[in-house]
Amino acid sequence: MILKTKLSKLELRNPTILASGILCNGPLLKRAAEGGAGAVVTKTVTKEIREGYSTPILIGVEGGLINAVGLANPGYENYIVEDLPIAKEGKVPVVVSAGGSTSQEFREICIRAEEAGAKAVELNLSCPHVKKHGLQLGGDPTIVKEIVKDLKGALKIPVFTKLGLSDNIGTSAMAAQEAGTDAIVAINAIKSMAIDVDARKPILSYGYGGLSGPAIHPVAVRCVHELRQKLTVPIVGCGGVTDWRTAVEFLIAGASAVQLGSAIAIRGIGVFKEIEEGIKNYLKSNGFKSLKEIIGCMDR
Amino acid sequence: MPSRPSSAGKDTLTFDSFVFAPAKIKRIVTESPKVKSFYLEYRGKTPRPGQFFMAWLPGQEEVPMSVSDFGEGFIRISVANEGQTTANFHKLTNGKKLFLRGPFGNGFSFDAKSFLIVGGGYGAAPLIYAAKNIIRSRGKCVYLIGAKNKSELLFVKEARKLGVKVEIATEDGSAGYQGPATELMEIILKKEKFGSVITCGPERMMYKVVSLSVKRGIKIQASLERYMKCGFGVCGSCVLDPIGLRVCSDGPVFDGAILLKTEFGKRKRVASGAKVKI
């Protein structure tokens, strides 16, 4: 059974990808690769060192997790020196997630990542809980176009654009495609809030956070399906993948691969292998010979 | 007793496992000038010795807290006043609430008949609960506790009450052996044989305890402390480089021989993920 899939030039042994911001550090990215991931995405790295928000930064809710980590990272240079080499020992493509507030910052980080051996970069234009970063950029198609265009001229490796839920997700994705992005990743965690009724206070120190996990899966599938109708570039589905079934749903909707993160909290690092096996069995029992046959099959 | 698997990655976990629940303070005991024990109302899963809870005071940070005792309707955590958050814990009074999630982590395994327990400072918290467990399952143990001075020794009376032999080391000689706990440990190991050593305390002390035990071929488990952001294996903050063990969910209790393959005792990560020397 062939589970290989392609995101532009990047070939993956299977369609499961560790999402950014989960496990985060080099040695744990390596473990995710050993746990079966087809590729791993780093913690979003920024130009400056960021401590992130104080705890609590991650909480459980019905059907998922809410996080407001605050883009904590040791700065891209530090990460590239300390963590990237170990992550690469996992022998699957390492995608460096970059965060910034200007084109210049994205360019600086991505060029360095390419030099250091990243197989692709992912632009975090979707983090819902840091001002002047993430979603505040990704929700504006003009800014998306400017950042992607600037990078495409400077890099040889593929550029993935990770977008979040906003009214503009379709137009931002189109803008990224026009600027030359090699794939769209959709979606990031959705801006949300949880209040402790006993304490009568928000649980996360930041107040708001990003909801991930099964609760957002149907929303993410809808986004991927809509984007598939508009776009020609590959799409990576992200949101609520916890088993083969939720992964296959994305593939049928038109995603060429899936990202997952929250599932690790409940199923452990071996979840990638479990999903890979599950997809294999699904393809076999439905008479398919390769993964490609089901990507976007519903609308063919 | 069989060794216990890690709590991470088991099918029984759901996202509800990571929700805070309020726990009313039933009783507060001052253990030392720096440490207070909080008896909290608790009717959840029985925690294994070495497991911990994330304890949160709304408006403050949440911090990992080892269980120092457990019984019908309560758990006990023993909090050292070490920073702003724990200082605020110390201001709490009976009837007030702390918010808990857990128990998290793997806990000690008790697959030997005799144990040497080596504690330093407030590292004694999970060890006294471990000692209780060992005694209840008819094992033998020695409780070696080290501290700066006599007033900071923890759980000495409690250990004696359990029927455990207590050995004391203080830096200033105000009680027991004068010198570090690891020196006294060497003296004891020359006289007596143990099936296993378990330790918790300052990392440099534990590094020594682990090295000494591994050198002598004694099974050793150490319970580690690291900066944790989530407590359940997702954020990666508490990773042990370079092999990628998460203190919160692969630990906090680790086999000493494995620890010696990591940066244990040498470097750790801070909130940003950057590494600093220990």
Three-state SS sequence of chain A: CECCEEECCEEECCCEEECCCCCCCHHHHHHHHHCCCCEEECCCECCCCECCCCCCCEEEECCEEEECCCCCECCHHHHHHHCHHHHHCCCCCEEEEECCCCHHHHHHHHHHHHHCCCCEEEEEECCCCCCCCCHHHHCCHHHHHHHHHHHHCCCCCCEEEEECCCCCHHHHHHHHHHCCCCEEEECCCEEEECEECCCCEECCCCCEEEEECHHHHHHHHHHHHHHHHHCCCCEEEECCCCCHHHHHHHHHHCCCEEEECCHHHHHCCCHHHHHHHHHHHHHHHCCCCEHHHHCCHHHC
Per CATH, is B113-190+197-217 categorized as 3.30.300.130? no
Q: What is the largest CA-CA distance in chain B?
A: 51
**Average pLDDT over every residue of A289-293:** 97
**Average pLDDT over every residue of A233-249:** 98
Say if the Cβ atoms of B56 and A56 lie within 8 Å. yes
Which residues of chain A lie closer than 8 angstroms to B247, CB-CB? none
Structure tokens at B2: 């069989």
Residues A225, A252: contact at Cβ < 8 Å? no
In one-letter notation, the amino acid at residue B57 is L
**Would you call B130 helix, strand, or coil by DSSP?**
helix
Of residues B243, B244, B272, nearest to A49 (C-beta): B272
The torsion angle over the Cα atoms of residues B199, B250, B122 and B205, rounded to 10 degrees, is 50
Spans of chain B, pLDDT less than 70: 1-11
All structural domains of chain A with their residue ranges: 5-47+68-189+211-299
Give the Cα separation of A169 and A213 in Å (integer).
20
| Tens digits of residue pLDDT in A70-115 | 999 999 999 999 999 999 999 999 999 999 999 999 999 999 999 9
Radius of gyration over every alpha carbon of chain B, rounded to an integer in angstroms: 18
Say if the Cβ atoms of A54 and B61 lie within 8 Å. yes
Q: How close B208 gets to chain A, by Cα (Å)?
A: 25
All structural domains of chain B with their residue ranges: 15-104, 113-190+197-217, 224-278
Mutation to test the B interface, candidates A22, A23, A25, A69, most B Cβ within 10 Å: A25
Residues B153, B170: contact at Cβ < 8 Å? yes
Place of tokens 């990773």: B239
In one-letter notation, the amino acid at residue A265 is A
Between residues 139 and 198 of chain B, which touch chain A (CB distance below 8 Å)? Answer: none
pLDDT at residue B182, rounded to an integer: 98
pLDDT at residue A118, rounded to an integer: 98
| Residue B3: DSSP 8-state | P
**Average pLDDT over every residue of A220-238:** 98
Residues B169, B148: contact at Cβ < 8 Å? no
Tally DSSP H helices, then E strands, for chain B.
6, 17
Which residues of chain B lie closer than 8 angstroms to A266, CB-CB? 13-15, 17
Model confidence at A275: pLDDT above 80: yes
pLDDT at residue A299, rounded to an integer: 87
pLDDT at residue B43, rounded to an integer: 95
Of residues A27, A55, A58, nearest to B244 (C-beta): A27
**Would you call B78 helix, strand, or coil by DSSP?**
strand
Of residues A23, A201, A213, nearest to B236 (C-beta): A23
Q: How close A52 gets to chain B, by Cα (Å)?
A: 7
Residues A151, A183: contact at Cβ < 8 Å? no
Which residues of chain A lie closer than 8 angstroms to B16, CB-CB? 60, 62
Say if the Cβ atoms of B15 and A262 lie within 8 Å. yes
Q: Is residue A127 annotated as part of the catalytic site, yes or no?
A: yes
Number of cross-chain residue pairs from A and B with Cβ atoms under 8 Å apart: 144
pLDDT at residue A132, rounded to an integer: 86
pLDDT at residue B2, rounded to an integer: 34
Closest of B68, B85, B118 to residue B256, by C-alpha: B118
pLDDT at residue B219, rounded to an integer: 98
Question: In the CATH hierarchy, which fold is given to the domain comprising A5-47+68-189+211-299?
Answer: TIM Barrel (3.20.20)
Structure tokens at B232: 């359940």
| Tens digits of residue pLDDT in B96-107 | 999 999 999 999
Same fold, B15-104 and B113-190+197-217: no
Of residues A43, A58, A72, nearest to B234 (C-beta): A58
Q: What is the mean pLDDT of chain A?
A: 97
Structure tokens at A72: 């904590």
| Tens digits of residue pLDDT in A14-35 | 999 999 999 999 999 999 999 9
pLDDT at residue B12, rounded to an integer: 79
The set of residues, in sequence order, having a beta carbon less than 8 Å from that of B8 and lying 6+ positions away, is A268, B232, B233, B246, B249, B250
Model confidence at A45: pLDDT above 60: yes
**CATH code reported for the domain at B15-104:** 2.40.30.10
pLDDT category of residue A120 using cuts at 50, 70 and 90: very high
